Structure 1
């Protein structure tokens, strides 16, 4: 983990598809997934829903929105960490330097707007602040 963090490698994390209760050594639940430990260790993680046809479990179908909710609510990453993971994913895009800078600027602004419109009010309601 330390070496991956040191090398600034972006690790794509597919929570739902990594849950394999029947496989020895694999996480049995999202809460057991090592993503929070990876983030805490400084590993740059990006979130993905993997292959929508092959991923998911009987209880949960893999989809991008659900992956974000699971990351934020069922791991120690939480909502602020989930936001950082989304930005990491965008920063890991394979684009020429100039295009990436423009893309990141637009993406970060869109994420901030969406966060303010959807996540912040939701968290306020959940916490009983509204």
Structure 2
């Protein structure tokens, strides 16, 4: 039961990191579209303009921050909001992954028992190891 609890906690930490990026992609465009300074910079109003804002936030939070041509994202509003989206989108995933790696590295290696599968060969189990 302890192994399942630890594994579940590690998965929960990873999912929290992914949730941070997903929330930025989901609610970042809504905030930018409702702010006056965010709407001024959109050259094409309506659904196409909103899709440009949505693409901008998904690209900033998950990738390298590309934008489409009709959105002028070089304003102080978009620079600050997209900087925060990039920071939280990247470090929201990196920090839980490093925490998982640190907790797995700090674990003690248990002694092999009769139910332990050998994993020191390239194929994990060879026929000669099965006959021992």
TM-score using structure 2 length:
0.29
* Structure that is richer in helix per residue: 2
* Structure that is richer in strand per residue: 1
Determine which structure has greater relative contact order: mean sequence separation of CA pairs < 8 Å that are 6+ residues apart, divided by chain length.
2
TM-score using structure 1 length:
0.29
